Structure 1
Amino acid sequence: MKTLKRASVLVVLLVIMAMSLGMGCSSSRSSRAAAPLEEKPVVASAEEAEPLAGLEALPGGLGKKESKDHRIAYTVGPDDVIAVEVRQHPEIGGEFLVSPEGTIFISLIGSVEVEDATTEEIARRLESRLAEFIRDPEVAVSVVAYNSKKVYVLGQVGNPGEHPMRGNMLTVRDAVLLAKLPLDTANLPRVAVITPDEYAPQVRVVNLNDILYKGILRDNIHLKPGDVVVVHRHLLAKLGKFLEQVLGPTARLRAAEDLVDVLDR
Protein backbone atom coordinates (compact mmCIF):
# COMPACT_ATOMS: atom_id res chain seq x y z
CA MET A 1 0.00 0.00 0.00
CA LYS A 2 2.83 2.40 0.87
CA THR A 3 4.51 1.62 -2.46
CA LEU A 4 1.21 2.21 -4.27
CA LYS A 5 0.75 5.63 -2.63
CA ARG A 6 4.27 6.71 -3.58
CA ALA A 7 3.67 5.52 -7.14
CA SER A 8 0.44 7.53 -7.29
CA VAL A 9 2.20 10.68 -6.10
CA LEU A 10 4.91 10.13 -8.69
CA VAL A 11 2.31 9.81 -11.48
CA VAL A 12 0.72 13.09 -10.36
CA LEU A 13 4.10 14.81 -10.41
CA LEU A 14 4.90 13.57 -13.90
CA VAL A 15 1.48 14.74 -15.18
CA ILE A 16 2.07 18.19 -13.66
CA MET A 17 5.48 18.37 -15.29
CA ALA A 18 4.05 17.35 -18.67
CA MET A 19 1.33 20.01 -18.44
CA SER A 20 3.81 22.71 -17.46
CA LEU A 21 6.16 21.76 -20.26
CA GLY A 22 3.31 21.80 -22.77
CA MET A 23 2.10 25.24 -21.66
CA GLY A 24 5.33 27.08 -21.15
CA CYS A 25 8.09 25.34 -23.10
CA SER A 26 8.01 24.19 -26.69
CA SER A 27 11.29 22.31 -26.40
CA SER A 28 13.49 20.73 -23.77
CA ARG A 29 16.04 23.38 -24.53
CA SER A 30 13.77 26.03 -22.92
CA SER A 31 13.49 24.20 -19.59
CA ARG A 32 17.09 23.31 -18.84
CA ALA A 33 18.26 24.06 -15.31
CA ALA A 34 19.55 27.50 -14.39
CA ALA A 35 23.30 28.11 -14.18
CA PRO A 36 24.73 27.65 -10.68
CA LEU A 37 25.06 30.88 -8.74
CA GLU A 38 28.69 30.29 -7.95
CA GLU A 39 29.45 31.07 -11.57
CA LYS A 40 30.29 34.73 -11.88
CA PRO A 41 28.59 36.69 -14.67
CA VAL A 42 30.83 37.27 -17.66
CA VAL A 43 31.92 40.90 -17.76
CA ALA A 44 30.98 42.34 -21.11
CA SER A 45 30.52 45.85 -22.40
CA ALA A 46 26.94 46.93 -22.96
CA GLU A 47 28.03 48.40 -26.28
CA GLU A 48 28.64 44.84 -27.56
CA ALA A 49 24.97 43.96 -27.17
CA GLU A 50 22.89 43.44 -30.29
CA PRO A 51 19.09 43.62 -30.49
CA LEU A 52 17.17 40.45 -31.28
CA ALA A 53 17.19 39.56 -34.94
CA GLY A 54 14.23 40.97 -36.84
CA LEU A 55 13.21 43.57 -34.24
CA GLU A 56 14.05 46.37 -36.66
CA ALA A 57 10.69 45.73 -38.30
CA LEU A 58 8.65 46.17 -35.11
CA PRO A 59 6.41 49.25 -34.71
CA GLY A 60 8.24 52.27 -33.39
CA GLY A 61 11.64 50.91 -34.33
CA LEU A 62 12.12 49.18 -30.97
CA GLY A 63 14.80 46.93 -32.41
CA LYS A 64 16.90 49.63 -34.03
CA LYS A 65 20.35 50.15 -32.62
CA GLU A 66 20.91 53.48 -30.95
CA SER A 67 24.09 55.46 -31.29
CA LYS A 68 26.51 55.31 -28.36
CA ASP A 69 26.13 59.05 -27.72
CA HIS A 70 22.34 58.81 -27.57
CA ARG A 71 22.48 55.99 -25.03
CA ILE A 72 24.93 57.76 -22.74
CA ALA A 73 23.44 61.27 -22.77
CA TYR A 74 20.81 61.34 -20.02
CA THR A 75 17.85 63.64 -20.56
CA VAL A 76 16.36 65.23 -17.46
CA GLY A 77 12.74 64.71 -16.45
CA PRO A 78 10.28 65.54 -13.64
CA ASP A 79 11.41 64.58 -10.11
CA ASP A 80 15.09 64.54 -11.08
CA VAL A 81 17.35 66.75 -8.98
CA ILE A 82 20.03 68.75 -10.78
CA ALA A 83 22.90 70.83 -9.45
CA VAL A 84 23.66 74.18 -11.09
CA GLU A 85 27.01 75.90 -10.58
CA VAL A 86 27.63 79.41 -11.92
CA ARG A 87 31.30 80.33 -11.90
CA GLN A 88 32.07 83.32 -9.63
CA HIS A 89 28.38 83.55 -8.70
CA PRO A 90 27.71 80.80 -6.14
CA GLU A 91 24.63 82.62 -4.88
CA ILE A 92 22.80 81.81 -8.13
CA GLY A 93 23.46 78.08 -8.19
CA GLY A 94 22.30 75.24 -6.02
CA GLU A 95 20.29 72.03 -6.26
CA PHE A 96 16.93 72.16 -8.00
CA LEU A 97 14.06 69.66 -8.16
CA VAL A 98 12.55 69.41 -11.63
CA SER A 99 8.84 70.19 -11.36
CA PRO A 100 6.04 68.03 -12.83
CA GLU A 101 5.95 70.59 -15.65
CA GLY A 102 9.61 69.92 -16.41
CA THR A 103 11.00 73.23 -15.17
CA ILE A 104 13.30 74.62 -12.49
CA PHE A 105 13.08 78.07 -10.93
CA ILE A 106 16.16 80.27 -10.52
CA SER A 107 15.57 83.52 -8.69
CA LEU A 108 17.47 85.78 -11.09
CA ILE A 109 15.94 84.50 -14.33
CA GLY A 110 12.74 82.73 -13.28
CA SER A 111 11.39 79.48 -14.70
CA VAL A 112 13.58 77.48 -17.09
CA GLU A 113 12.42 74.51 -19.18
CA VAL A 114 14.76 71.54 -18.64
CA GLU A 115 12.68 68.46 -19.45
CA ASP A 116 14.09 66.21 -22.19
CA ALA A 117 17.35 68.19 -22.23
CA THR A 118 20.84 66.92 -21.39
CA THR A 119 22.92 68.60 -18.70
CA GLU A 120 25.05 70.19 -21.43
CA GLU A 121 21.96 71.61 -23.14
CA ILE A 122 20.63 72.94 -19.84
CA ALA A 123 23.96 74.63 -19.09
CA ARG A 124 23.95 76.40 -22.48
CA ARG A 125 20.31 77.42 -21.96
CA LEU A 126 21.09 78.91 -18.55
CA GLU A 127 24.13 80.74 -19.90
CA SER A 128 21.95 82.33 -22.57
CA ARG A 129 19.42 83.52 -20.00
CA LEU A 130 22.03 84.67 -17.49
CA ALA A 131 23.89 86.66 -20.16
CA GLU A 132 21.21 89.33 -19.75
CA PHE A 133 22.45 89.96 -16.22
CA ILE A 134 26.02 88.60 -16.04
CA ARG A 135 28.90 89.10 -18.39
CA ASP A 136 30.14 85.86 -20.01
CA PRO A 137 28.48 83.46 -17.55
CA GLU A 138 29.92 79.96 -17.23
CA VAL A 139 27.49 77.31 -16.04
CA ALA A 140 28.00 73.64 -15.13
CA VAL A 141 25.05 71.29 -14.59
CA SER A 142 25.00 67.75 -13.18
CA VAL A 143 22.32 65.28 -12.12
CA VAL A 144 22.22 64.70 -8.37
CA ALA A 145 19.25 62.27 -8.21
CA TYR A 146 17.85 60.12 -11.01
CA ASN A 147 14.12 59.80 -10.38
CA SER A 148 12.28 60.36 -13.65
CA LYS A 149 13.13 57.20 -15.58
CA LYS A 150 12.69 53.71 -14.15
CA VAL A 151 12.58 50.08 -15.21
CA TYR A 152 11.10 47.22 -13.23
CA VAL A 153 12.69 43.85 -12.50
CA LEU A 154 10.25 41.38 -10.95
CA GLY A 155 10.24 37.76 -9.87
CA GLN A 156 13.19 35.58 -8.92
CA VAL A 157 15.87 38.20 -8.23
CA GLY A 158 17.54 39.40 -5.06
CA ASN A 159 15.99 42.87 -5.07
CA PRO A 160 12.78 42.96 -7.14
CA GLY A 161 11.06 46.26 -7.82
CA GLU A 162 11.75 49.54 -9.60
CA HIS A 163 15.26 50.64 -10.47
CA PRO A 164 16.35 54.07 -11.74
CA MET A 165 17.94 54.55 -15.14
CA ARG A 166 21.10 56.65 -15.21
CA GLY A 167 20.93 56.97 -18.97
CA ASN A 168 18.28 56.95 -21.67
CA MET A 169 19.02 53.29 -22.28
CA LEU A 170 19.74 50.35 -19.95
CA THR A 171 20.48 46.77 -20.97
CA VAL A 172 18.70 43.70 -19.62
CA ARG A 173 22.00 42.58 -18.06
CA ASP A 174 22.54 45.87 -16.26
CA ALA A 175 18.95 45.92 -15.00
CA VAL A 176 19.32 42.42 -13.53
CA LEU A 177 22.61 43.40 -11.89
CA LEU A 178 20.81 46.36 -10.29
CA ALA A 179 18.27 43.84 -8.98
CA LYS A 180 21.04 41.84 -7.21
CA LEU A 181 21.20 38.92 -9.67
CA PRO A 182 18.77 35.99 -10.08
CA LEU A 183 17.97 33.47 -7.36
CA ASP A 184 18.71 29.78 -7.85
CA THR A 185 14.98 29.27 -8.50
CA ALA A 186 15.07 31.45 -11.63
CA ASN A 187 14.26 30.14 -15.10
CA LEU A 188 17.17 31.94 -16.76
CA PRO A 189 16.73 30.71 -20.34
CA ARG A 190 13.22 32.19 -20.57
CA VAL A 191 13.09 35.70 -19.09
CA ALA A 192 10.30 37.97 -20.29
CA VAL A 193 10.89 41.61 -21.25
CA ILE A 194 7.63 43.55 -21.44
CA THR A 195 7.15 46.95 -23.05
CA PRO A 196 3.80 48.18 -21.69
CA ASP A 197 1.28 49.63 -24.11
CA GLU A 198 -2.42 50.20 -23.56
CA TYR A 199 -3.36 48.55 -26.84
CA ALA A 200 -0.43 46.37 -27.91
CA PRO A 201 2.09 45.53 -25.17
CA GLN A 202 5.17 43.76 -26.47
CA VAL A 203 6.66 40.69 -24.83
CA ARG A 204 10.10 39.43 -25.77
CA VAL A 205 11.81 36.34 -24.35
CA VAL A 206 15.56 36.50 -23.70
CA ASN A 207 18.10 33.95 -22.51
CA LEU A 208 19.55 35.45 -19.34
CA ASN A 209 21.77 32.43 -18.78
CA ASP A 210 23.61 33.19 -22.04
CA ILE A 211 23.88 36.89 -21.16
CA LEU A 212 25.15 36.50 -17.59
CA TYR A 213 27.21 33.33 -17.64
CA LYS A 214 28.33 32.79 -21.23
CA GLY A 215 28.93 36.32 -22.49
CA ILE A 216 26.54 35.77 -25.42
CA LEU A 217 24.95 39.18 -25.77
CA ARG A 218 22.57 38.68 -28.69
CA ASP A 219 19.60 38.89 -26.30
CA ASN A 220 21.04 41.74 -24.21
CA ILE A 221 18.51 44.21 -25.57
CA HIS A 222 18.22 47.81 -24.46
CA LEU A 223 15.36 48.68 -22.14
CA LYS A 224 13.38 51.89 -22.26
CA PRO A 225 11.76 53.75 -19.36
CA GLY A 226 8.82 51.75 -18.04
CA ASP A 227 9.98 48.38 -19.40
CA VAL A 228 9.42 45.35 -17.15
CA VAL A 229 11.78 42.37 -16.83
CA VAL A 230 10.09 39.28 -15.36
CA VAL A 231 12.29 36.43 -14.11
CA HIS A 232 9.99 33.43 -13.64
CA ARG A 233 10.55 30.39 -11.44
CA HIS A 234 11.93 27.36 -13.23
CA LEU A 235 9.76 24.25 -13.43
CA LEU A 236 11.30 22.32 -10.53
CA ALA A 237 10.97 25.36 -8.25
CA LYS A 238 7.28 25.68 -9.17
CA LEU A 239 6.81 21.98 -8.54
CA GLY A 240 8.52 22.19 -5.16
CA LYS A 241 6.29 25.07 -4.10
CA PHE A 242 3.19 23.20 -5.22
CA LEU A 243 4.22 20.09 -3.29
CA GLU A 244 4.92 22.12 -0.18
CA GLN A 245 1.44 23.64 -0.28
CA VAL A 246 -0.44 20.44 -1.15
CA LEU A 247 1.46 17.53 0.35
CA GLY A 248 3.29 18.98 3.31
CA PRO A 249 7.04 18.86 4.08
CA THR A 250 7.46 15.11 4.70
CA ALA A 251 5.44 13.92 1.71
CA ARG A 252 7.10 16.57 -0.45
CA LEU A 253 10.54 15.23 0.44
CA ARG A 254 9.58 11.63 -0.38
CA ALA A 255 7.95 12.66 -3.66
CA ALA A 256 10.96 14.74 -4.64
CA GLU A 257 13.26 11.80 -3.96
CA ASP A 258 11.10 9.60 -6.20
CA LEU A 259 11.16 12.24 -8.92
CA VAL A 260 14.94 12.56 -8.78
CA ASP A 261 15.26 8.78 -9.02
CA VAL A 262 13.13 8.75 -12.16
CA LEU A 263 14.98 11.65 -13.77
CA ASP A 264 18.36 10.03 -13.06
CA ARG A 265 17.45 6.80 -14.83
Structure 2
Amino acid sequence: MKQRCFFQFLIVTILLFLNSYVYAEQSTGEYMIGPGDVISIQVWDHGDLNRNVEVSQEGDFTFPLIGKIHTSGLSVFELEKIITDKLNSGYLISPQVTITISEFKNQEVFLFGAVKKPGSYVIKGKTHILKLTTDAGGFEDESGMSATVIRPKSPLLKNKPITLEQAKENEMITIDLNQVTISSTDDKFYILPGDSIYINKMARFFVTGEVKKPGIYNWEKDLTIREAISIAGGATPRGSEERAWIVRRQDNEEKQITPDMGDIVLPDDIITVPKSYF
Protein backbone atom coordinates (compact mmCIF):
# COMPACT_ATOMS: atom_id res chain seq x y z
CA MET A 1 0.00 0.00 0.00
CA LYS A 2 2.81 2.42 0.91
CA GLN A 3 4.51 1.67 -2.42
CA ARG A 4 1.28 2.25 -4.35
CA CYS A 5 0.66 5.57 -2.57
CA PHE A 6 4.22 6.65 -3.37
CA PHE A 7 3.74 5.69 -7.01
CA GLN A 8 0.53 7.73 -7.25
CA PHE A 9 2.23 10.70 -5.56
CA LEU A 10 5.11 10.45 -8.01
CA ILE A 11 2.83 10.30 -11.05
CA VAL A 12 0.74 13.26 -9.89
CA THR A 13 3.92 15.27 -9.26
CA ILE A 14 5.12 14.51 -12.76
CA LEU A 15 1.78 15.43 -14.32
CA LEU A 16 1.82 18.79 -12.56
CA PHE A 17 5.44 19.37 -13.53
CA LEU A 18 5.32 18.27 -17.15
CA ASN A 19 1.68 18.65 -18.26
CA SER A 20 2.26 19.77 -21.89
CA TYR A 21 5.55 18.15 -22.92
CA VAL A 22 5.95 15.53 -25.61
CA TYR A 23 7.52 12.18 -24.92
CA ALA A 24 9.23 10.39 -27.79
CA GLU A 25 9.68 6.67 -28.12
CA GLN A 26 13.32 5.62 -28.08
CA SER A 27 14.67 2.32 -29.34
CA THR A 28 18.16 1.05 -28.64
CA GLY A 29 20.66 2.43 -31.10
CA GLU A 30 19.92 5.18 -33.64
CA TYR A 31 18.11 8.31 -32.48
CA MET A 32 14.50 8.51 -33.64
CA ILE A 33 13.38 11.86 -35.06
CA GLY A 34 10.34 13.38 -33.38
CA PRO A 35 8.16 16.50 -33.11
CA GLY A 36 10.07 19.71 -32.48
CA ASP A 37 13.39 18.43 -33.83
CA VAL A 38 15.13 20.72 -36.34
CA ILE A 39 16.86 18.77 -39.10
CA SER A 40 19.40 20.01 -41.64
CA ILE A 41 19.05 18.52 -45.14
CA GLN A 42 21.83 18.79 -47.71
CA VAL A 43 21.48 17.58 -51.29
CA TRP A 44 24.96 17.62 -52.80
CA ASP A 45 25.40 19.79 -55.93
CA HIS A 46 21.84 21.10 -55.48
CA GLY A 47 22.22 23.97 -53.04
CA ASP A 48 18.74 25.29 -53.83
CA LEU A 49 17.32 22.23 -52.06
CA ASN A 50 19.40 22.59 -48.89
CA ARG A 51 17.43 23.74 -45.87
CA ASN A 52 16.69 23.44 -42.16
CA VAL A 53 13.20 22.22 -41.32
CA GLU A 54 11.36 21.73 -38.05
CA VAL A 55 9.32 18.57 -37.59
CA SER A 56 5.71 19.49 -36.83
CA GLN A 57 3.73 18.20 -33.86
CA GLU A 58 2.12 15.76 -36.31
CA GLY A 59 5.60 14.40 -37.08
CA ASP A 60 6.06 15.67 -40.64
CA PHE A 61 7.51 18.47 -42.81
CA THR A 62 7.41 19.52 -46.45
CA PHE A 63 10.32 19.36 -48.88
CA PRO A 64 10.68 20.74 -52.45
CA LEU A 65 9.69 18.37 -55.28
CA ILE A 66 8.53 15.76 -52.77
CA GLY A 67 5.89 17.47 -50.65
CA LYS A 68 4.93 16.28 -47.18
CA ILE A 69 7.18 13.67 -45.54
CA HIS A 70 6.20 11.87 -42.35
CA THR A 71 9.37 11.44 -40.30
CA SER A 72 8.37 10.88 -36.67
CA GLY A 73 9.88 7.61 -35.45
CA LEU A 74 12.40 7.36 -38.30
CA SER A 75 16.15 7.32 -37.85
CA VAL A 76 18.37 9.80 -39.70
CA PHE A 77 19.55 7.02 -42.03
CA GLU A 78 15.98 5.94 -42.80
CA LEU A 79 14.96 9.51 -43.62
CA GLU A 80 18.02 9.97 -45.83
CA LYS A 81 17.02 6.86 -47.80
CA ILE A 82 13.40 8.01 -48.18
CA ILE A 83 14.40 11.44 -49.53
CA THR A 84 17.10 9.93 -51.76
CA ASP A 85 14.66 7.40 -53.24
CA LYS A 86 11.96 10.02 -53.85
CA LEU A 87 14.39 12.48 -55.50
CA ASN A 88 15.77 9.63 -57.58
CA SER A 89 12.27 8.86 -58.87
CA GLY A 90 12.20 11.27 -61.79
CA TYR A 91 13.71 14.41 -60.28
CA LEU A 92 17.49 13.97 -59.86
CA ILE A 93 20.09 11.49 -61.05
CA SER A 94 21.81 9.57 -58.23
CA PRO A 95 21.25 12.27 -55.58
CA GLN A 96 23.38 12.27 -52.45
CA VAL A 97 21.49 13.35 -49.35
CA THR A 98 22.99 14.09 -45.93
CA ILE A 99 20.84 14.78 -42.87
CA THR A 100 21.90 15.97 -39.43
CA ILE A 101 19.92 16.96 -36.35
CA SER A 102 20.43 20.68 -35.66
CA GLU A 103 18.30 20.85 -32.51
CA PHE A 104 17.38 17.85 -30.36
CA LYS A 105 14.05 19.14 -29.08
CA ASN A 106 12.89 15.59 -28.66
CA GLN A 107 15.81 14.72 -26.39
CA GLU A 108 14.50 16.33 -23.21
CA VAL A 109 14.45 14.55 -19.89
CA PHE A 110 13.01 15.81 -16.63
CA LEU A 111 14.91 15.61 -13.34
CA PHE A 112 13.45 16.62 -10.00
CA GLY A 113 13.48 15.71 -6.32
CA ALA A 114 16.58 15.91 -4.12
CA VAL A 115 18.99 17.52 -6.63
CA LYS A 116 20.33 21.06 -6.51
CA LYS A 117 19.06 22.16 -9.94
CA PRO A 118 15.87 20.27 -10.84
CA GLY A 119 14.30 20.89 -14.23
CA SER A 120 14.41 19.79 -17.87
CA TYR A 121 17.69 18.79 -19.50
CA VAL A 122 18.64 18.02 -23.10
CA ILE A 123 20.66 14.85 -23.62
CA LYS A 124 22.43 13.44 -26.67
CA GLY A 125 21.17 9.87 -26.83
CA LYS A 126 21.18 7.67 -23.77
CA THR A 127 23.01 9.28 -20.84
CA HIS A 128 24.42 7.85 -17.62
CA ILE A 129 22.35 8.87 -14.60
CA LEU A 130 25.43 10.14 -12.72
CA LYS A 131 26.31 12.40 -15.67
CA LEU A 132 22.80 13.84 -15.52
CA THR A 133 22.81 14.39 -11.75
CA THR A 134 26.24 16.02 -12.01
CA ASP A 135 24.86 18.44 -14.62
CA ALA A 136 22.07 19.17 -12.11
CA GLY A 137 24.59 20.31 -9.49
CA GLY A 138 24.72 17.04 -7.56
CA PHE A 139 22.52 15.64 -4.82
CA GLU A 140 20.95 17.58 -1.99
CA ASP A 141 22.00 16.57 1.52
CA GLU A 142 18.52 15.10 2.04
CA SER A 143 18.88 12.74 -0.91
CA GLY A 144 17.95 9.16 -0.10
CA MET A 145 20.41 7.92 -2.77
CA SER A 146 17.74 6.17 -4.78
CA ALA A 147 16.06 7.23 -8.00
CA THR A 148 12.75 6.40 -9.62
CA VAL A 149 12.69 6.60 -13.41
CA ILE A 150 9.35 6.77 -15.23
CA ARG A 151 9.77 5.75 -18.86
CA PRO A 152 6.90 6.27 -21.34
CA LYS A 153 5.84 3.24 -23.33
CA SER A 154 4.20 5.44 -25.98
CA PRO A 155 4.30 9.11 -27.04
CA LEU A 156 2.13 11.59 -25.15
CA LEU A 157 0.67 14.23 -27.44
CA LYS A 158 1.45 17.85 -26.65
CA ASN A 159 -1.39 19.86 -25.08
CA LYS A 160 -3.31 16.67 -24.34
CA PRO A 161 -2.86 16.08 -20.58
CA ILE A 162 -2.85 12.45 -19.55
CA THR A 163 -4.84 10.85 -16.78
CA LEU A 164 -3.43 9.03 -13.75
CA GLU A 165 -4.55 5.71 -15.26
CA GLN A 166 -2.71 6.45 -18.52
CA ALA A 167 0.44 7.41 -16.62
CA LYS A 168 0.36 4.12 -14.69
CA GLU A 169 0.88 2.28 -17.98
CA ASN A 170 4.42 3.66 -18.18
CA GLU A 171 7.43 1.67 -17.01
CA MET A 172 8.81 2.51 -13.56
CA ILE A 173 12.45 1.68 -12.74
CA THR A 174 14.06 1.97 -9.30
CA ILE A 175 17.81 2.62 -9.10
CA ASP A 176 19.92 2.25 -5.96
CA LEU A 177 22.40 5.09 -6.44
CA ASN A 178 24.71 3.62 -3.81
CA GLN A 179 25.37 0.77 -6.24
CA VAL A 180 26.17 3.02 -9.23
CA THR A 181 29.54 4.29 -10.41
CA ILE A 182 30.25 6.26 -13.59
CA SER A 183 31.74 3.06 -15.05
CA SER A 184 28.54 1.05 -14.41
CA THR A 185 27.33 -0.19 -17.79
CA ASP A 186 24.01 -1.84 -16.93
CA ASP A 187 21.26 -0.47 -19.20
CA LYS A 188 19.11 0.51 -16.22
CA PHE A 189 21.70 3.12 -15.20
CA TYR A 190 21.16 5.03 -18.46
CA ILE A 191 18.52 7.68 -19.04
CA LEU A 192 16.60 7.83 -22.34
CA PRO A 193 14.83 10.77 -24.01
CA GLY A 194 11.42 11.42 -22.47
CA ASP A 195 12.35 9.88 -19.11
CA SER A 196 11.27 11.54 -15.88
CA ILE A 197 13.69 10.98 -13.01
CA TYR A 198 12.79 11.56 -9.38
CA ILE A 199 15.68 11.55 -6.89
CA ASN A 200 14.02 10.29 -3.75
CA LYS A 201 14.42 12.15 -0.51
CA MET A 202 15.87 10.39 2.50
CA ALA A 203 13.24 8.43 4.41
CA ARG A 204 12.80 9.37 8.08
CA PHE A 205 11.16 8.05 11.22
CA PHE A 206 10.25 9.79 14.45
CA VAL A 207 10.78 8.83 18.10
CA THR A 208 8.98 10.73 20.82
CA GLY A 209 7.82 10.37 24.41
CA GLU A 210 9.99 9.01 27.23
CA VAL A 211 13.28 8.64 25.35
CA LYS A 212 16.55 10.42 26.04
CA LYS A 213 16.91 11.95 22.55
CA PRO A 214 13.48 12.40 20.94
CA GLY A 215 13.62 13.58 17.34
CA ILE A 216 13.73 12.74 13.64
CA TYR A 217 16.10 10.03 12.41
CA ASN A 218 17.18 8.63 9.06
CA TRP A 219 15.37 5.42 8.22
CA GLU A 220 17.33 2.27 7.40
CA LYS A 221 16.08 -0.97 5.92
CA ASP A 222 15.33 -3.78 8.41
CA LEU A 223 15.60 -1.43 11.41
CA THR A 224 13.64 -2.87 14.37
CA ILE A 225 11.54 -0.97 16.91
CA ARG A 226 14.05 -1.81 19.65
CA GLU A 227 16.94 -0.51 17.52
CA ALA A 228 15.04 2.67 16.66
CA ILE A 229 14.44 3.42 20.34
CA SER A 230 18.11 2.72 21.03
CA ILE A 231 19.11 5.23 18.34
CA ALA A 232 17.02 7.78 20.24
CA GLY A 233 19.11 7.12 23.36
CA GLY A 234 16.85 4.46 24.82
CA ALA A 235 14.01 4.90 27.27
CA THR A 236 14.31 7.31 30.20
CA PRO A 237 14.04 5.90 33.75
CA ARG A 238 10.35 6.79 33.60
CA GLY A 239 9.79 5.23 30.17
CA SER A 240 8.29 1.86 29.34
CA GLU A 241 9.98 0.66 26.16
CA GLU A 242 7.94 -2.55 26.01
CA ARG A 243 4.69 -0.54 25.87
CA ALA A 244 5.77 1.61 22.91
CA TRP A 245 3.28 2.21 20.13
CA ILE A 246 3.54 3.35 16.52
CA VAL A 247 1.43 5.76 14.51
CA ARG A 248 1.63 4.53 10.92
CA ARG A 249 -0.14 5.75 7.79
CA GLN A 250 -2.03 2.93 6.10
CA ASP A 251 -4.73 3.14 3.43
CA ASN A 252 -4.53 6.95 3.61
CA GLU A 253 -5.33 6.85 7.31
CA GLU A 254 -3.16 7.18 10.41
CA LYS A 255 -3.47 4.07 12.57
CA GLN A 256 -2.07 3.34 16.02
CA ILE A 257 -0.30 -0.01 16.26
CA THR A 258 1.10 -1.86 19.26
CA PRO A 259 4.21 -3.61 17.86
CA ASP A 260 6.60 -6.25 19.09
CA MET A 261 10.10 -4.94 19.74
CA GLY A 262 11.44 -7.01 16.85
CA ASP A 263 9.00 -5.58 14.31
CA ILE A 264 10.43 -3.55 11.43
CA VAL A 265 10.18 0.24 11.31
CA LEU A 266 8.71 1.72 8.12
CA PRO A 267 9.43 5.19 6.67
CA ASP A 268 7.46 7.98 8.41
CA ASP A 269 6.60 5.82 11.43
CA ILE A 270 6.09 7.78 14.65
CA ILE A 271 7.27 5.72 17.63
CA THR A 272 6.07 6.81 21.06
CA VAL A 273 7.52 5.47 24.31
CA PRO A 274 4.99 6.08 27.12
CA LYS A 275 5.57 6.54 30.83
CA SER A 276 5.81 3.45 32.98
CA TYR A 277 2.90 2.59 35.26
CA PHE A 278 5.32 2.56 38.19
TM-score of the two chains, using structure 1 as the length reference: 0.55
The 5-angstrom pairing of residues 152-167 of structure 1 reads 152-167=110-125
1:207 aligned partner:
176
User: Does residue 188 of structure 2 align to residue 230 of structure 1?
Assistant: no
2:46 aligned partner:
89
The 5-angstrom pairing of residues 1-265 of structure 1 reads 71-131=28-88, 132-167=90-125, 169-188=126-145, 190-195=146-151, 198=166, 199-212=168-181, 215=183, 220-235=188-203
Unaligned runs of 5+ in 1: 1-22, 25-65, 240-254, 257-261
Give the Cα–Cα distance (whole angstroms) in 1 for the partners of residues 57 and 174 of structure 2: 34
SS in 2 for 1:91: helix
Give the Cα–Cα distance (whole angstroms) in 2 for the partners of residues 153 and 210 of structure 1: 19
Residues 71-94 of structure 1 show CA distances to partners (whole Å, capped at 9, x for unaligned) of: 331010111000001101111011
User: Shift in Å at residue 105 of structure 1?
Assistant: 1.0
**Structure 2 residue identity aligned to 1:194:** I
User: Shift in Å at residue 110 of structure 1?
Assistant: 1.2
Give the Cα–Cα distance (whole angstroms) in 2 for the partners of residues 88 and 216 of structure 1: 46
**Structure 2 residue identity aligned to 1:160:** P
Residues 33-89 of structure 1 show CA distances to partners (whole Å, capped at 9, x for unaligned) of: xxxxxxxxxxxxxxxxxxxxxxxxxxxxxxxxx9xxx53310101110000011011
Describe the shift of the 1:225–1:151 C-alpha distance in structure 2 as closer, same or farther (beyond 3 A).
Answer: same
**Larger relative CO (CA 8 A, sep 6+): 1 or 2?**
1
User: Shift in Å at residue 175 of structure 1?
Assistant: 3.5
Give the Cα–Cα distance (whole angstroms) in 1 for the partners of residues 187 and 103 of structure 2: 30
SS in 1 for 2:94: coil
User: Shift in Å at residue 113 of structure 1?
Assistant: 1.6
Give the Cα–Cα distance (whole angstroms) in 2 for the partners of residues 234 and 219 of structure 1: 25
Choose between structure 1 and 2: higher helix proportion: 1
Give the Cα–Cα distance (whole angstroms) in 2 for the partners of residues 218 and 125 of structure 1: 34
The question of whether the paired residues in 2 share the 8 Å contact of 1:97 and 1:104 is answered with: yes
Residues 177-204 of structure 1 show CA distances to partners (whole Å, capped at 9, x for unaligned) of: 443332333221x222234662445543
2:262 aligned partner:
none
The question of whether the paired residues in 1 share the 8 Å contact of 2:112 and 2:199 is answered with: yes
Residues 90-113 of structure 1 show CA distances to partners (whole Å, capped at 9, x for unaligned) of: 110111000112112112221112
Percent identical residues? 21
Describe the shift of the 1:103–1:228 C-alpha distance in structure 2 as closer, same or farther (beyond 3 A).
Answer: same
* Over 6 Å off, 4+ runs: 262-265
User: Shift in Å at residue 144 of structure 1?
Assistant: 0.7
Give the Cα–Cα distance (whole angstroms) in 1 for the partners of residues 105 and 95 of structure 2: 29
**Structure 1 residue identity aligned to 2:60:** T
Root mean square deviation, CA, Å? 3.4
SS in 2 for 1:148: helix
SS in 2 for 1:163: strand
Unaligned runs of 5+ in 2: 4-25, 153-164, 207-214, 217-229, 234-278
Describe the shift of the 1:122–1:156 C-alpha distance in structure 2 as closer, same or farther (beyond 3 A).
Answer: same
The question of whether the paired residues in 1 share the 8 Å contact of 2:111 and 2:120 is answered with: yes
